Amino acid sequence: DEYTILNKLGKGSFGTVYKVEQKKSNLFRAMKVISKEILTYQDDDQQFLKEIEILMKQDHINILKGYEYFEDNLNYYLITELITKGELYEYILNCDKIDEAQVRYIFKQLISVVSYLHKNQIIHRDLKPENILVDSVIDNNINIKVIDFGTCNFFKKGKNLNLQGGSPYYIAPE
């Protein structure tokens, strides 16, 4: 009732993302729709709600901002900021070259996100170029946003997390 769906932006293994417009403000946002039927819980039965909780509480320039969420009998609907430049993975594939200074700038932002999350006792567990969006390119600097906190969890010092997770192409062989 609060948003108008404009078009589909993409589809992943856990949901579909749409560009939406908030009716009251006319602001554009992204809406991730996750079917409750196909949702698989990972560490506990609150995994998706944990993703929402973590996204809503984070305040870091390089983490996708979560605004609100809704649910009905069939789906969860997560409203986030809209990032339109696509995945870092696709950006890299479509570039003629990325120089060392650009890579350093991206890496600095990524390390800042990891440090911020770890200081807040959060582990992402699926960092990869497909889970990093290009927010903007200003003066040859590629600004990024980390997304997809579906496998994230809180951690406590001295307590191991046992979930085997991540994406097969990026998991260490050991």
d(CA 39, CA 100): 40
Q: Catalytic residue at 126?
A: yes
pLDDT digits (tens, 9 = 90+) for 27-62: 999 999 988 887 655 455 555 677 788 888 899 999
pTM of the model: 0.87
Q: List the structure tokens of 122.
A: 């959060």
Query: In this structure, are residues 34 and 48 in contact, taking their beta carbons and an 8 Å threshold?
Result: yes
pLDDT at 150: 79
d(CA 42, CA 50): 11
Catalytic choice (126, 135, 139, 148): 126
pLDDT at 54: 85
pLDDT digits (tens, 9 = 90+) for 93-148: 999 889 999 999 999 999 999 999 999 999 998 899 999 999 999 999 999 999 98
Query: In this structure, are residues 65 and 80 in contact, taking their beta carbons and an 8 Å threshold?
Result: yes
